[in-house]
Amino acid sequence: MEKQRKYIEHPLIKPEKIEARIYQQVIAARAVEKNTLVVLPTGLGKTAIAIMVIAYRLHKYGGRALIMSPTRPLAIQHWKNLKDVLKIDDIVLVTGRVGQERRKEIWSSGRVFVATPQVVKNDLERGFLFLDDFTLLVFDEAHRAVGLYPYVKIADLYMKKARNPRILALTASPGGNEESILEVLKNLYIENVEVRTRESKDVAPYLSDLEVEVVNVPLSKEYEEVIGLLKSAIKSKSDELRGMGVDLGQKVSMKNLLETQKILATDGRGKELLIVSAMIKIQHILDLMEIEGASMAYDYLKKLMRGEKAADRILIEDPFIKKLIPMLEELSGRPHPKMDLLREIVMKFRGKKMMIFTNYRRTAYEIYDLLSNMNGIKPSVLIGQQRKGEQGMSQEEQRKILEEFISGNCNVLISTSVGEEGLDLPDMDIVLLYDATPSSVRHIQRKGRVGRIRPGKVIALLSRGKEAGFFKLASRKEKEMEIMLKRALSMSRASPLSLEERQREKIPIKVDFREVNGPVARLLISRDDVSIELVKMNGVDYMINDRIFVSRLTQGKILLIGDMSLYLKELRRRYPLPVILLEGRVQEEEKIAELASLLGIPVVRTKNPEDTVDALIRISREGERSYGGSKKGKILNSP
């Protein structure tokens, strides 16, 4: 006998609209008391939690509530849900489609509002909207609350202006590393984090089984030959740079190249910069070749061949590139080996509801062409809106595609990233990942499309090398997310303190202007207990006081310094008390420590930018008693 369902009962919630799930009630109960970030897998009712918190706050404190979603379709989706569930008449949708004068009237008339963040930010700046009497703001897809995204300014204004503020932030994943998670927590003034995963005991009863299958894609001999030539081109350029004093190490990665490019540009080393820029483009061709196919790689190469930039000419003149051009041209007429495997998988699961994710619009249409001629397969493509140089879909076209998929007129939906976030899609049987993403946020959102109401399966098509690494990295980040969240929350200083309390006893740190866009400077800026001043420095990155100067060395910076002994001697000569911060994995760490020891320079070991920030603050607090005496030259691990 099926157990009778229980529903939430509340004066502002219609009867039998929200199923009474313990985990949702627990989360909502905590969220009404503290600014809360809710991290919950797709399909487990983040909107239901938001509705419960809205009902509680409005019923107890009065005022008004606002829920924000990144796009108009998502905002409309929330608006419909709220109207269906809440016993409140004046629920208002506010998007860019509504004229400015009309919005000015709307903001003063409703009780619950659903809006896009850009409209909210604009109307706050125009004086159309005031947040003083709002007792709740809900930030959907809260992982976007970084950098210059409107969520950041909205949250800051709200916490400063509202008489009785409360923030509820919702996401399936807050970010792929502690730095981005910490930024979200600080920007949204989060005091409490509620995390549930598929393994959480209180969530498990509401989810079905999810199987993940990895299909390794073998590449043909011809593909392997072209890939080998691309790797040889990268190695030859790396050897050339080493002869110019820039050592990229044994394993050249895109991350390493981009970091080196930034440092070379800052130091004005033009010739080396051109070579690194050419290497970045060769690496991109290699990635396209392995993951997307020869056709896309060749089209990108042809674009470079027509280019007039100096880095393009360096690339084209490389002997390995010259040798592979005719080979790549011949291969460009053949599909990537993934396509054959994809056809087999789709045929095997014919009749099942399936979603295929790919990173590129062009690949989405190539998959559509492949599947269109197969019996029993009714594919559709879902892509984002038009952008420069690329075709796109209007929101109305997207809506029609989704309706076809929901109704069953289409049984295979081929989507780019637009299908990953927020859309209210039915549970399906299969999610096929044509290509991997290193982003844990996108990885989690893709997988979240299956295994909710009924058992589902995720199938990942992975080429060897970088793509397999992407999948492993995103999977590992997903597993570590809860740990990172708890660690980031403990580091966060975000809280609804008064401005006077925030300004009290700040630690002053001077930062070299070249570091201002780096992760350490951003973290320092976001802290309530630190004040920074930008100055121009020579050879160091941070000034703690008029005696202590700190140089932050990553592997990329060390490669560009070249003669470390000469660099350290110059630091010792120029500054009273220099300190070295070795951040991340550093080759020849012991050698650097030994050189520093001979000169009486303390060396502090840090794991990442967050660790470096903690070390800078500790150096500021402890001063010369810890870094000017007996510990000179030793490697100190930052706790």
Grade residue 622 by pLDDT with cuts at 50, 70 and 90. confident
Q: What CA–CA distance (Å, rounded) separates 382 from 364?
A: 8
Yes or no: say if 491 and 248 are a contact pair by the CB < 8 Å rule.
no
H helix intervals, 492-533? 499-503, 519-526
Q: Higher confidence at residue 635 or residue 246?
A: 246
Residues 159 and 68 placed together within one structural domain of the fold:
yes
Per-residue pLDDT, 624: 58
**Residue 515 belongs to a domain with what CATH number?**
3.40.50.10130
Which residues have C-beta within 8 Å of that of residue 486, sequence separation ≥ 6? 193, 195
Give the mean model confidence (pLDDT) for residues 578-595: 87
Q: What CA–CA distance (Å, rounded) separates 451 from 209?
A: 6
Residues 172 and 60 placed together within one structural domain of the fold:
yes
In a domain, 493, yes or no: no
Q: Which of 206, 233, 254 is the last residue of a domain?
A: 206
Per-residue pLDDT, 637: 54
Residues 61 and 107 placed together within one structural domain of the fold:
yes
Q: What CA–CA distance (Å, rounded) separates 616 from 639?
A: 12
Strand pairing category for 542-543 and 507-512: antiparallel
Q: What CA–CA distance (Å, rounded) separates 432 from 358?
A: 9
User: Which residues lie across from 303 on neighbouring strands?
Assistant: none
Q: Which of 563, 635, 570 is nearest to 602 (CA)?
A: 635
Per-residue pLDDT, 525: 74
Q: Which of 590, 565, 579, 575 is nearest to 629 (CA)?
A: 579
Residues 346 and 323 placed together within one structural domain of the fold:
no
Per-residue pLDDT, 314: 94
Give the mean model confidence (pLDDT) for residues 133-144: 95
Residues 161 and 130 placed together within one structural domain of the fold:
yes
H helix intervals, 188-293? 221-243, 254-267, 270-291
Residues 324 and 301 placed together within one structural domain of the fold:
yes
Give the mean model confidence (pLDDT) for residues 222-236: 94
Yes or no: say if 255 and 229 are a contact pair by the CB < 8 Å rule.
no
In a domain, 8, yes or no: no
Residues 136 and 192 placed together within one structural domain of the fold:
yes
Q: What tens digit of pLDDT does each residue of 299-317 get? A: 999 999 998 899 999 999 9
**What is the CB-side half-sphere exposure of residue 206 using CA atoms within 13 A?**
19
In a domain, 97, yes or no: yes
292 DSSP 8-state letter: T
Residues 461 and 530 placed together within one structural domain of the fold:
no
Q: Give the total number of structural domains in the chain.
A: 4
Q: What tens digit of pLDDT does each residue of 373-406 get? A: 899 899 999 988 777 667 788 878 888 888 888 8
**Residue 99 belongs to a domain with what CATH number?**
3.40.50.300
User: Which residues lie across from 233 on neighbouring strands?
Assistant: none
Q: Which of the listed ranges 76-80, 248-252, 418-422, 625-629 does the model predict with the highest average pLDDT? A: 76-80
Q: Which of 314, 331, 348 is the last residue of a domain?
A: 331
Count other C-beta atoms under 10 Å from residue 175's C-beta: 26
Per-residue pLDDT, 33: 92
Per-residue pLDDT, 543: 92
Per-residue pLDDT, 491: 56
Yes or no: say if 255 and 585 are a contact pair by the CB < 8 Å rule.
no
**Residue 238 belongs to a domain with what CATH number?**
1.20.1320.20
Per-residue pLDDT, 551: 93
Identify the weakest region by mean pLDDT among 188-197, 394-403, 436-445, 550-559: 436-445
Residues 197 and 228 placed together within one structural domain of the fold:
no
Q: Higher confidence at residue 19 or residue 395?
A: 19
Q: What tens digit of pLDDT does each residue of 344-357 get? A: 999 999 888 999 99
In a domain, 4, yes or no: no
Q: Higher confidence at residue 487 or residue 550?
A: 550
In a domain, 495, yes or no: no
Q: Is the pLDDT of residue 327 over 70?
A: yes
Per-residue pLDDT, 228: 95
Q: What tens digit of pLDDT does each residue of 469-504 get? A: 888 877 777 777 767 666 666 655 434 344 344 444
Count other C-beta atoms under 10 Å from residue 228's C-beta: 12
Q: Which domain holds residue 548?
A: 501-637
Give the mean model confidence (pLDDT) for residues 587-605: 86
Residues 547 and 439 placed together within one structural domain of the fold:
no
Residues 357 and 472 placed together within one structural domain of the fold:
yes
Q: What CA–CA distance (Å, rounded) separates 260 from 247?
A: 10
Identify the weakest region by mean pLDDT among 59-63, 387-391, 619-623: 387-391
Per-residue pLDDT, 446: 84
Give the mean model confidence (pLDDT) for residues 60-81: 92
Yes or no: say if 619 and 508 are a contact pair by the CB < 8 Å rule.
no
Q: Is the pLDDT of residue 12 over 60?
A: yes
Residues 114 and 242 placed together within one structural domain of the fold:
no
What angle separates helix 609-622 from helix 519-526, to the nearest 10 degrees?
Answer: 60
Q: Structure pTM?
A: 0.67
Yes or no: say if 416 and 398 are a contact pair by the CB < 8 Å rule.
no
Give the mean model confidence (pLDDT) for residues 150-163: 94
In a domain, 508, yes or no: yes
Dmax of the chain from CA atoms?
83
560 SS3 class: helix
pLDDT, averaged across the chain: 86
In a domain, 527, yes or no: yes
Q: Which of 426, 456, 484 is the last residue of a domain?
A: 484
Give the mean model confidence (pLDDT) for residues 357-383: 92
In a domain, 202, yes or no: yes
